[in-house]
Amino acid sequence: MDSNWNNKQASSSLARLLPLLSERYENKVEEAEWQGYLERLNRHFPRLFGLLHQLYGKEYDFFYHLAEILNTATKAWINRAAELKALDAIRENDPIWYQSNRMLGAVCYVDLYAGDLKELKEKIPYLKELGASYLHLMPIFRTPEGDSDGGYAVSSYREVNPELGTMDDLRDLAREMRNHGISLVLDFVFNHTADDHEWALKANAGEEEFQNYYRMFPDRKIPDEYEKTITPVFQDDHPGCFTYRSRIKKWVWTTFHNYQWDLNYENPVVFNRMADEMLFLANQGVEILRLDAVAFIWKKMGTSCENLPEAHIIIQAFNAVMKIVAPSFLFKSEAIVHPDEVNKYISEEECQLSYNPQMMALLWESLATKKTTLLQHALEKRFTIPQNCMWVNYVRSHDDIGWSFSNEDAEELQLNPEEHRRYLSQFYTGRYPGSFAKGLPFQEDPQTLQGRVSGTTASLAGLEQALVEKDEEKIELAIRRILLLHGVILTMGGIPLIYIGDGIGMLNDYDYENSPEKIGDTRWIHRPKFDWEKSKERSDPESLTGKIYNGLLKLLQLREKTQALSGSDTEFIDFGNEHLLAYFRHYESNSVFIIANFSNKGQNIAGNKLRQLGMSKTVTDVVAGKTIIAAQNLSIEPYQFMMLIGVR
């Protein structure tokens, strides 16, 4: 779009809208504060205008929608607590606060970890012990009775699930965490609402206004057309992407479960109302929103209905709204799609943070194959993201592990992508001969055996099997694998995100099979209730828990001490050894060098190779606490993780 035209239109619209805003809100705040707000509005409005114009410019009442969104934004800013506005100001002066090596993410379910929000407040010391500065709470809002996709079917964005507490408890927790330097991260489940959300109930009662909030069709004609090009997500749950609702005799778009109704962002009212919900969350003290299922928010006939350009425009428009109201705010993208598509959501104007599903999947791939070739190949292609943006690197999440590497990458390494994925699923579900892993298949196609995998880090890394076999050597190898994976996510450019419970080596929990709400969904095996008793063993360094926990704690502390691990500058080094992953991290004038051995056999690096990389006479491996003479051959133990300092 012509930017001159855009800026002219934007400024004339703003000139018309400002008197309305001033009249309503100006006298509610101090003059200087109001001026500060107007300054941000003037700065970001042209971008917001351009984005909304692309989506809704053809609507006859576009100007009305624009007025509505600015009203929503300004009202939210007026209602924003002084302490949050103060945080905005601090972060505006330190816009890259989240790039520090002190950033460490943790994720948990409130009920499984602590019971409820009040209890969680009591657990803050444990989070501090890990050094967490970011805590993602899995969905905590009101959901339908029974199955709710682990909270991802939201009945109200403004009511906490009563079993977990109240909105007051949430604000209280957010404040307490903030005082301890921990940012609260929550999901913004904005692709769909639960079918008992107020809007859905009205739609289901026949109110056309609310039926237009969703995507509904009177017969199969259009759904059939769409389904020709869409890949179903939860095909075990329902085939295709639509659910029939007999009361209104309509087919409703349900990408995920049949009780999760996809919102219709073609309707500008939906954008506005969801912006209102988003700002409400921001005003409760949430500092980072995890944008759930970003890939699916726009649909277009004849396409896969994933990753469409309009999906990006919507997120950018939300981002612009946030920059006006709560400039300290960050978005984290949850795009579990082709790696090239994942990267497209990452920019300062869209999502500053993004899960790194490619790296997650390929870390597991490297453990299975004992080779880092595909991992390194993929990272070299796609690891670099725009400056000021950060990967969120993780070993596993609450979701399954999908083999989301690119087919082209695999083919370039002479691997058949389909076969390789099948092999990995077989390996991690313990069906491949010699596998150390104990996972369960998730959404596996019985014909092709293509599918994803569920399991906790410890069980997938071999601990569960080794404990059954009571094999000390295998237990030791499993511990090493757990620490190796964490070593990489803690040192690779980005923010590491740890699943609480993995730090004490929690195993799969097969209890979900006894719950009618959970039984169909194997992801529940890797969502065990945090074992506080077991966690006490962490103070005994000789115990199994102690070995895992203290190993992890050491890595966490090293990360915190190592400035070179700030930011995301990562330089991969190829030693020509397919079992090793090696990389420099640089930040300002600091550097650190990482070597990770993914093989169960020892490896060697010839002495001159380290010298060639510019390493001086001696360097220190701070993990083992050993001095290394750069000119001598370096031997690396099975699954050893090394962090060399003094390298440049």
Catalytically active residues are 292, 334
Instruction: Compare residues 197 and 538 and give the one whose CB is closer to ligand GLC.
Output: 197
At closest approach, how far in Å is the CB of 260 from ligand GLC? Answer: 6
- Indicate whether 293 belongs to the interface with ligand GLC (CB under 6 A): yes
Indicate the residue whose CB is closest to ligand GLC. 152
Dig out the tokens for 607 from the structure: 């002495």
Among positions 34, 126, 188, 256, the unique one binding ligand GLC when judged by CB under 6 A: 256
Nearest to 203 by CA among 188, 192, 214, 193: 214
Dig out the tokens for 290 from the structure: 């995890």
Q: Are 194 and 148 in contact (CB under 8 A)?
A: yes
At closest approach, how far in Å is the CB of 100 from ligand GLC? Answer: 26
At closest approach, how far in Å is the CB of 29 from ligand GLC? Answer: 37
Instruction: Compare residues 46 and 402 and give the one whose CB is closer to ligand GLC.
Output: 402
Instruction: Compare residues 50 and 150 and give the one whose CB is closer to ligand GLC.
Output: 150
Element (H or E) spanning 600, and its range? none
Q: Where are the beta strands (DSSP E) in 315-377?
A: 330-333, 353-355
Size of the site for ligand GLC (CB under 6 A): 9
Instruction: Compare residues 189 and 475 and give the one whose CB is closer to ligand GLC.
Output: 189
- Indicate whether 275 belongs to the interface with ligand GLC (CB under 6 A): no
Nearest to 525 by CA among 449, 424, 440: 440
Nearest to 236 by CA among 452, 524, 521: 521
Among positions 68, 306, 399, 444, the unique one binding ligand GLC when judged by CB under 6 A: 399
φ, ψ at 92 (rounded to 5°): -65, -30
Instruction: Compare residues 408 and 517 and give the one whose CB is closer to ligand GLC.
Output: 517
How far apart (Å, rounded) are the C-alpha atoms in residues 570 and 574? Answer: 13
Q: What is the 3-state secondary structure (H, E, C) of 427-469?
A: HHCCCCCCCCCCCEEECCCCCCCCCEEECCHHHHCCHHHHHHH
- Side by side, the strands of the sheet bearing 641-645 are 570-573, 580-587, 590-597, 641-645, 618-621, 626-629
DSSP string spanning 463-492?
HHHHHHHT-HHHHHHHHHHHHHHHHHHHHS
Nearest to 324 by CA among 59, 80, 96: 80
At closest approach, how far in Å is the CB of 334 from ligand GLC? Answer: 6
Among positions 66, 70, 73, 189, the unique one binding ligand GLC when judged by CB under 6 A: 189
At closest approach, how far in Å is the CB of 139 from ligand GLC? Answer: 9
Say whether 592 sits in a helix, a strand or coil: strand
- Indicate whether 292 belongs to the interface with ligand GLC (CB under 6 A): yes
Say whether 599 sits in a helix, a strand or coil: coil
Instruction: Compare residues 149 and 306 and give the one whose CB is closer to ligand GLC.
Output: 149
Instruction: Compare residues 151 and 487 and give the one whose CB is closer to ligand GLC.
Output: 151
At closest approach, how far in Å is the CB of 138 from ligand GLC? Answer: 8
At closest approach, how far in Å is the CB of 292 from ligand GLC? Answer: 5
Give the footprint of ligand GLC on residues 102-161 (CB under 6 A).
149-150, 152
Instruction: Compare residues 332 and 420 and give the one whose CB is closer to ligand GLC.
Output: 332
- Indicate whether 237 belongs to the interface with ligand GLC (CB under 6 A): no
At closest approach, how far in Å is the CB of 149 from ligand GLC? Answer: 5
How far apart (Å, rounded) are the C-alpha atoms in residues 168 and 75? Answer: 20
Nearest to 494 by CA among 426, 559, 422: 559
- Indicate whether 55 belongs to the interface with ligand GLC (CB under 6 A): no
Binding mask 328-347 for ligand GLC (x = CB under 6 A): ------x-------------
CA distances 504 to 45, 177, 539, Å, are: 48, 23, 11
φ, ψ at 305 (rounded to 5°): 60, 30
At closest approach, how far in Å is the CB of 524 from ligand GLC? Answer: 11
DSSP string spanning 503-566?
GGTPPP-GGGGG-TTTTT-GGGGG-PPP-HHHHHGGG-TTSHHHHHHHHHHHHHHHHHH-GGGS
How far apart (Å, rounded) are the C-alpha atoms in residues 184 and 110? Answer: 12
Instruction: Compare residues 270 and 326 and give the one whose CB is closer to ligand GLC.
Output: 270
Instruction: Give residues in contact with ligand GLC (CB under 6 A).
Output: 149-150, 152, 189, 256, 292-293, 334, 399
